Chain A
């Protein structure tokens, strides 16, 4: 069973607010990811990290930023939210322990609505 947690699960905020989506995993995985997904659609990688102090932009351009100060924690921040940021944000992790290459373990997601 995967141990990766996201908070908040649901967030409704006004335009211009700063928000941080939290993601924590207790599996000791080196690699962590943030995906953006509209309902019933494909996942788009927006950020990833291969370890502490390592962060990279994903395939889909995003105005959000991430940090990786601790192995288990990979928060995503939007400095000024806009309605176009409304989406579901999924955090995932992967690692060599107990899993084959490419296997991702996902959190339950954070659904963000910007009014």
Chain B
């Protein structure tokens, strides 16, 4: 079984601060996704990274895929209360039919 560990599990910060969430595994993934989930809703796809070392930017969010395609990070600049939610990483193996989800990072951004 491929496992994905996220850190930190919980993060509470003030508006305007920067933060980084990590997603680590001992397994190699063909692609990795980041999702954001609000309470009572389903996860929404933020980004997919595919190439080792790849960096993708989505406004204030920067996603990086590790060179060995085993880990990833999500960096948020100048966090806003609207960024509050559960952030989930998910890796797709060589058989991309099933994804492995990380245990999630709950982010709270206080005004």
Contacts and interface: CB of A to CB of B under 8 A. Distances in A.
Interface of A: 6, 31, 35, 39-43, 45, 48, 50, 58-59, 90, 92, 94, 99-109, 111
Interface in B62-111: 86, 88, 90-92, 96-99, 101-104, 106
A84 B45 CA distance: 29
B86 A101 contact: no
Contact of A31 (B42, B45, B97): B97
A111 B40 CA distance: 8
Interface core residue of A59, A102, A105, A107 (most chain B CB under 10 Å): A102
A50 B30 CA distance: 19
Interface residues of B, number: 30
Contact of A105 (B30, B45, B104): B45
6 contacts: A40-B86, A43-B43, A101-B30, A102-B33, A103-B33, A106-B42
A107 B90 contact: no
Given A42-B102, A101-B31, A59 B40 contact: no
A102 B30 contact: yes
B48 interface: yes
Contact of A90 (B39, B43, B97, B104): B43
User: Which among A43, A50, A108 has the greatest number of chain B C-beta atoms within 10 A?
Assistant: A43
Contacts of A59: 1
B111 to A, nearest CB: 21
